[in-house]
Chain A
Amino acid sequence: MDLRVPSGWFFTLLGVILVGMGLIAPGYRLAALTDVNVNLYSGIAMLIFGLFLLLMARLAASKSR
């Protein structure tokens, strides 16, 4: 099993959830000290990280084939 596949999917999913939260419910108004859309930005970062892991796994799989 290539660990990059499940963790890649996990972070992609997490990113999608957070970006969704950031877009439809800009909840940053709910946290007392936060004045940026933290869900959107960290969601984007997690999405990129997840996709990066999946890409690396794909590259490794095609190389070994």
Chain B
Amino acid sequence: MKLAPVDYVILATYFAMVLGIGWMLRKRVSTSGDFLLSGRAVPVWITSLAFIAANLGAQELIGMAASGAKYGIMTAHFYWVGAIPAMVFMGLFMMPFYYGSKARSVPEYLKMRFDEKTRGFNAFTFAVMTIFSSGISMYALGLLLHLVLGWNFSTSVLATAAIVLAYTYLGGLTSAIYNEVLQFFLIVAGFAPLAILSCSKAGGWHGIVSRLPSNMTHSWTHMGSASQNPMGVEIFGMVAGLGFVLSFGYWCTNFLVVQRAMAADSMSAARRTPLVGAIPKMFLPFIVILPGIAAVALAQMSAAGGAHLYELPVKLSGGVWVKDYDQVLTTLMAKFYPAGILGVGLTGLMASFMSGMAGNVTAFNTVFTYDIYQSYIRKGAPDRHYLTVGRMTTIVGVALSIGAAYLAQYYNNIMDLLQFVFGFVNAPLFATFLLGMFWKRSTANGAFFGLVTGTVAASLTWGLTVAEGKGGVFGLVHTFPSVMAQNFWIAIVAFTSCFLVTVVVSLVTQPRKESELEGLVYGLTKIRHDENAKWYERPVLLAVFVLVLAVILNIWFA
């Protein structure tokens, strides 16, 4: 792929834009709360777009097109079965406690509801996870830019990291959130044309359906047994593993996204953040997955000269040529985009990377400053001290992510493993939150031992099972038809064991006084019902609307 001068102009304009937004917002930062929590003053349309943009990193963008080409429309389950119901649950049932408890972070809620050790456990794992996630995606971006454009790995990694650092350092969370909205628009502007062009070239959806095997274009029809669908997952593993445990775990307990909703300017806005965000979210598959599916159809169509319109990219792996699905998105761009829109597409890719990285960095600095530094290193200092610490942590966080990116360059396999582990690390945590928020009898020791057991159970399940020839470090008990199925089942095991141990330990330990749990637990908290809100501002109504839309999409592409 070769860029024209106009493409560089577009890219440079975007860089100037994000830095400019950071510069304009710098005056809004005078306390640590302004810097790390946006002073709880961001309008709902902004928080809801930032809510989905923080999750839409470059790896998701590339990965969704890759999965579209590999698994077909079943990839949309990550949205229509996974994310949407979880986001609705979060807005309706969990946000009142997050926002109402005045906790500044997810670990801090755990401290208020349970105790110090539960918070410490969560804060530490979360901090490590954000650094490595951000490093891994930085590595992926550097590799891609090198592969596609021949850019130097270090230059592209360091330059993008410096820009993210500059605007988050200047304007804190507000700057990250505002830029995420711009980045979301750019991702849509940069990739929607690709979806339209590739899909219409392949003869529209009907043309695609007529060219691909039926299990690539039907999301539910072939879910009866794992062997019949390309993902290798049966219906229970999909609905319980992905739809329930993994998605609820991610969207409801991952501070990276929860933080965006907590920055909203009122309780009602905080609750509507995931609900409003769910509406654009459920149409994203048409932009991010559809090009991947269209690519497979295009690879079967012949041009006038007899050659295929498009060839799926391949790479050499262990001496054999295998399909390199991760390059589907960029090779499609090269085939469809002339100079101009190519610059917008590439800028969209950079934007998605930056939104993902800024999300990680801003979540990391909040958890480090409030849950680690203020709790264990220096308590009771004046707020100005914590503002400085927050700023310094931003720099340290970016530096550590860069370190992780280089680590990923040298130890590829370790990074694959870490990414796999991050896939289910939130699974037991969701059981802890479910019991903590909805069962007043659950106790601190129950939560802590449940969480530890869930994490250990997840590791054991991973070590004792094999999928696609990998795993089974501690022995072999079961073989899964695919890595995807293995991941879903690890999540189910982790959730169930955390849930059971929390219940059992809670029943034999002393519960806390009900008066101490006000605002933290369902049944002991008065949830304001927003009587004066206009009809379209009511969370329940919005939730019903979102769920109906999601059901329609599921049936449409069943």
Taking Cβ atoms with an 8 Å cutoff, the residues of A that contact B are: 1, 3, 6-7, 10-11, 13-14, 17-18, 21-22, 25, 27-34, 36, 38-39, 41-43, 45-46, 49
Contact = CB atoms under 8 A, between A and B. Distances in A.
Interface in B1-51: 6, 9-10, 13-14, 17, 20-21, 24-25, 28, 46
Given A6-B17, A34-B337, 18 more contacts: A6-B182, A11-B185, A11-B189, A17-B6, A18-B340, A18-B344, A21-B339, A31-B342, A33-B201, A33-B309, A34-B197, A34-B338, A38-B337, A38-B338, A39-B338, A43-B340, A49-B185, A49-B189
Given A10-B17, A14-B189, A33 B341 contact: no
Contacts of A21: 6, 339-340
B46 A38 contact: no
Interface residues of B, number: 33
A1 B6 CA distance: 29
B189 A31 contact: no
Nearest to A10: B17
Q: Is the interface of B mostly helix, strand, loop or mixed?
A: helix
Nearest to B181: A3
B310 interface: yes
The list of the 8 closest CB pairs from A to B, nearest first, reads A27-B338, A21-B340, A39-B340, A31-B338, A30-B338, A33-B335, A42-B193, A7-B182
Nearest to B174: A1
Contacts of A39: 338, 340-341
A45 B17 CA distance: 20
B178 interface: yes
Contacts of A18: 340-341, 344
7 contacts: A1-B178, A6-B24, A6-B182, A7-B182, A10-B17, A14-B10, A31-B336
Nearest to A15: B189
Contacts of A43: 340
A17 B244 CA distance: 45
B337 A31 contact: yes
Contacts, number: 88
A14 B343 CA distance: 10
Given A22-B340, A46-B189, A38 B182 contact: no
Given A1-B25, A11-B189, A27 B201 contact: no
Contacts of B201: 33
Contact of A13 (B13, B24, B178): B13
**Looking at B10, B201, B337, which has the most chain A CB atoms within 10 Å of its CB?**
B337
Contact of A38 (B13, B21, B25, B193): B193
A1 B24 contact: yes
Given A11-B185, A18-B340, A33-B197, A3 B178 contact: yes
A17 B197 contact: no
Nearest to A1: B24
Nearest to A46: B189
Contacts of B21: 1, 3, 6
A40 to B, nearest CB: 9
A46 B189 CA distance: 7
A46 B338 CA distance: 17
Nearest to B6: A21
Most buried by A among B28, B178, B189, B198: B189
Count chain A CB atoms within 10 A of each CB in B10, B25, B46, B338 and give the residue with the most: B338
B496 to A, nearest CB: 43
